[in-house]
Amino acid sequence: MRYPEDQAYAYPQKQYGYDQGAYDYQGYNYDPYQQDYPEGDGYYNGPPQYYYDSNYNPNYDPNYPPQGYPQEGYPQEGYPVDEFGQPIHYDQSNRTYSDSASNISSATKQKDPAKAEEKPSYAPEAIEKYRQKAKDSGDPATLFKFGNYLIEAAGATDEQDPKSAKKKKDALLQEAVKIIKRLATQGIGFGRPAYPDAQFYLANCYGNGSLGLPMDPDKAFNLYMQASKQNHATATYRTAVCYEYGAGTKRDPNRATQFYKKAAALGDTAAMYKLGIIMLRGLLNQNPNPRDAVIWLKRAAANADEENPHALHELGLLHAKPEKEPPEIPSLIRSEKHAIEEFKKAADLGYAPSCFKLGCCYEYGQLGCPVDPRQSIRYYSRAAEKGHSEAELALSGWYLTGSNGILNQSDTEAYLWARKAADKGLAKAEYAIGYFTEVGIGVKADIEEARRWYMRAAAQGNKRAMQRLKELNFGHAGRAKPAKHTRAQANKEDCTIS
């Protein structure tokens, strides 16, 4: 079941680095993967993360929170740690402890088509039968599932009359919200605590104003906090986000770090990755700790999936750094082979930055890869399909020159792929479109339109665009002339692994 999300909360209007004083509240579904980490150092800001109820492990023992995190009323002794004093990842699937850092694998999750659930019926009699079953059970998990079933039913109404459809939809949603609110605030039965999954769900609703509820930052934060007290891993992660950005509470970097640590110890993959980056970079008022950073990145990599592939990519970047280049991490092997392996694992999970890096490696023969146009085009294409602007421009370069027996030369495709990247604001692509438009590659030549594209690129500091504008404005050069392009000319900008 997918928790309600609003794209508006995943894409911040402004970005601020940790060394600056200003932070914008981005809503509760905003994710710190979008933070302004310096990409020049190889730290890529991944896509917004969407969480599913499978992230919460109901078998987790609430009597033993992670060692070292203050929890009034909870015993602190006996919680297992590894040789570095870090909480050992608790494998909920078989109730055993395992150090994920020592067992790295590409965790591509495959679904068995034979086990796919049948589409439920939303007929009135089916709804009533499920309603009675849920009430009779008195089980919070069953009632919570029924609440979500009602939400799904509201979106699948087959009423032909618009008024009747709206009335039925509103009634189902109201019943669902009533159930979820009760579970989130009162629990079921005397002396039973509120249900953490319902608290997390309701917090999301208050965070993005879904299900007809008003946006309420304070309520959202309080519900995340209450679910975190019951060791709901993803709610703990969201609590950390709230403290980091001051969403519904006062901004507190130290408390944010504390909750990231707790969420990571509870097994939240996103928190593991985030904690690794915090320790690696010394963010949120923390001292850099490269050794522990790698431990958490490896744990996140061991649990990587399509929603959380970022740690694999970061490990690849660290493996790719020269031996003596900081940060010095004795436990990490600086190896081109290991770097490529991590990039490929992330690429297999569909992570666009890793696909782009591999495209560069196979185009230019980097990190021990042979020059292989077919593989380069393949990886660039995979990244471009996901909207990676640099990959779109790189693919444009391949179409501009073509590759014998692999890719037919096409000015039209070259223009279209560069235009995709330019429309996303990539300065190099804006310059390329200016050139294509001036010369007439894949589009009718138009010097004034070309000038506008050059101006857009120049506004972002593109030196080649600035130079071309000077030439056009002062008449120091005539119109550029089209020529047969080579691979070196197709993309003069460096493509480096850093």
Which homologous superfamily is 7-108+195-341 in? Tetratricopeptide repeat domain (1.25.40.10)
Residue 227 sits at the vertex; the CA angle it makes with 223 and 232, to the nearest 5 degrees, is 140
- Model confidence at 27: pLDDT above 70: no
pLDDT tens-place string over residues 203-227: 999 999 999 899 999 999 999 999 9
Rounded to whole angstroms, how far apart are CA atoms 214 and 44? Answer: 34
pLDDT grade for 494, boundaries at 50, 70 and 90:
very low
Give the residue with greater pLDDT, 178 vs 84. 178
According to DSSP, the residues that pair with 403 across neighbouring strands are 407
Mean pLDDT of the chain: 79
- Model confidence at 233: pLDDT above 70: yes
- Model confidence at 399: pLDDT above 80: yes
Under CATH, what is the fold of the domain 386-490?
1.25.40
**54-58, 180-184, 239-243, range with the lowest pLDDT:** 54-58
Helices 162-185 and 196-208 cross at an angle (nearest 10°) of: 130
Question: What per-residue string of b and e applies to 348-365 under the rule 16 or more CB within 10 Å gives b?
Answer: bbbbbbbbbbbbbbbbbe
Give me the half-sphere count of Cα atoms (radius 13 Å) on the Cβ side of residue 143. 23
Contacts for 213 with CB less than 8 Å, ≥ 6 apart: 177, 205, 206
Give the 3-state secondary structure of residue 87.
Answer: strand
Give the residue with greater pLDDT, 487 vs 245. 245
Give the 3-state secondary structure of residue 188.
Answer: coil
Fold: same for 7-108+195-341 and 386-490: yes
Contacts for 233 with CB less than 8 Å, ≥ 6 apart: 55, 56, 57, 60, 263, 266, 267, 268, 271
Which pLDDT score, from 0 to 100, does residue 78 have?
Answer: 36
Nearest by Cα to 273 from 221, 325, 237, 246: 237
pLDDT grade for 190, boundaries at 50, 70 and 90:
low
Give the residue with greater pLDDT, 377 vs 112. 377
Highest mean pLDDT among 57-66, 89-98, 352-361: 352-361
Which pLDDT score, from 0 to 100, does residue 20 have?
Answer: 31
Which pLDDT score, from 0 to 100, does residue 7 have?
Answer: 30
Which whole number is the average pLDDT over 82-104?
34
pLDDT tens-place string over residues 2-21: 333 333 322 222 222 333 33
- Rounded alpha-carbon distances, angstroms, from residue 74 to 67, 70, 77, 238, 260: 10, 8, 9, 22, 19
Residue 260 near residue 275 (C-beta atoms within 8 A): yes
pLDDT tens-place string over residues 277-312: 999 999 999 999 999 999 999 999 999 999 999 999
pLDDT grade for 116, boundaries at 50, 70 and 90:
low
**37-51, 120-134, 188-202, range with the lowest pLDDT:** 37-51
Positive/negative CA dihedral, 381, 386, 388, 393 = positive
Which pLDDT score, from 0 to 100, does residue 19 have?
Answer: 32
Q: Is 421 left (phi over 0), alpha (psi -120 to 50) or beta?
A: alpha
Rounded to whole angstroms, how far apart are CA atoms 419 and 216? Answer: 40
**126-135, 189-198, 291-300, 448-457, range with the lowest pLDDT:** 189-198
Which whole number is the average pLDDT over 81-85?
38
pTM of the model: 0.72
Which whole number is the average pLDDT over 332-347?
95
pLDDT tens-place string over residues 36-49: 333 333 333 333 33
Rounded to whole angstroms, how far apart are CA atoms 103 and 299? Answer: 9
Domain ranges across the chain: 7-108+195-341, 386-490
Copy the structure tokens of residue 323. 């031996």
Which pLDDT score, from 0 to 100, does residue 424 have?
Answer: 97
Rg (CA), the chain: 26
- Model confidence at 70: pLDDT above 60: no
Which pLDDT score, from 0 to 100, does residue 148 have?
Answer: 95
pLDDT tens-place string over residues 450-465: 999 999 999 999 999 9
Helices 269-281 and 310-320 cross at an angle (nearest 10°) of: 30
